[in-house]
Structure 1
């Protein structure tokens, strides 16, 4: 009954949130990022275990987007992202202090602002629409999707990046499920680069791989229509939507 009521009120909630977002300063901030990286390569870094085998330092010369709890990697790598993104309310609840303490700009879904324990000048917001259509102008909202990587791809497009190189999106989990399925973790987390990423006893959103592939395909089509390219350099990654390249080929793409 509760899920039915929540679903019934969803269109109204999205309209209200959209109205509030449009009145905020965040819309103008995102508009200012348009073509900020026009024609420049950009790296999108996922949180899969393959990141432990990925020489991120070789990509330090180009802009990059890290996602969710990527800062858990910083104690073992000198690489740092240009910004961090998160779309998941549960992750924001779990990692609120980390986002607030970040000296790297953090971009969160507008709906997540209620779950921050403290404010920070490093935190900005983007608005997720109720549909999944790829957005070329994120100041007007982003298409929702089953993965934060979809939001990162829309931001990369908005900023004019070309090509976009993806690493760490392994697209392989010990469990997958339908939308909005949450479970308590048991034991070490082998789905991410750190065994305590979702530590024992914490909750996580079970990934929906089919839904992720649908929005990844939307991303590929949008980039290709604009004459741009997305490459997947994830080591041993299982995603088959984007053109595969190895790390050496990815490094060659960013050479001056």
Structure 2
């Protein structure tokens, strides 16, 4: 695996460049989400793989003494809702992908690479007609303003496309970095079950999975499955209880995940 280039310290007002880390990686990456199924995943067995953590899933990486290869958080309120977990992510992660304002005043260890997130512009009519370009793919739903905004960024230097779940941002990041295989862990996307790190008497962050499932999340995952996933970018779902249809993202068991990781 190729090392990423050294970067400037965000505390001095400079950030790392997404362009500099594009296609610098290869092999398999774990995308670790916060679904209840993550609690039963033996993360320590997969610690030799790069791990993209997000939001509160760093509770599991910390418990397993694993440093996230990347930490992604697009929820600007998460820092206030879960300050302990956010501080844990800043402390442990090798690389951070956050909104620029999330870096302000944050206690970030020296040497951490800091990548500022921004959204990509919605595809234009010409993009929709041809289904995208070298840097992205998009829906051809010209008749629908909402549908035509469904897209997948292959190059995060132009920004990411929002599907109302941070998992979709992590998938775009995995593609951008050059990984060829992705193991989805804890990507249950089941609002009724909740997150593995939340307790009945603890702080709960808002969740809009049900609200956006049919309008944003499922259409975006369908686009990825049909136009992005191929022999060069394979995505596997390790969650047996995931809401993602197996017809879109193949569902595998732990034995198969171990084989891929090996």
Partner of 1:155: 173
Q: CA deviation at 1:30?
A: 0.8
Distance in 1 between residues matched to 2:103 and 2:117, nearest whole Å: 15
* Correspondence 1:206-245 to 2 at 5 A: 206-207=208-209, 208-210=212-214, 211-224=216-229, 227-240=232-245, 241-245=248-252
* Conserved 8 A contact 1:93-1:116: no
Aligned CA-pair RMSD: 2.6
* Conserved 8 A contact 1:30-1:126: no
Partner of 2:260: 253
Q: CA deviation at 1:254?
A: 1.9
Q: What 5-or-longer segments of structure 1 have no aligned partner? A: 1-23, 175-189
Give the TM-score, by structure 1 length: 0.73
1:64 aligns with 2:51: yes
* Conserved 8 A contact 2:61-2:68: no
Partner of 1:49: 36
Q: Which stretch has the larger CA shift, 142-151 or 101-110? A: 101-110
* Correspondence 1:1-256 to 2 at 5 A: 26=15, 29-38=17-26, 40-94=27-81, 95=83, 96-110=86-100, 113=101, 116-118=104-106, 120=108, 122=112, 123-131=114-122, 132-174=150-192, 190-196=193-199, 199-200=202-203, 202-207=204-209, 208-210=212-214, 211-224=216-229, 227-240=232-245, 241-255=248-262
Give the TM-score, by structure 2 length: 0.71
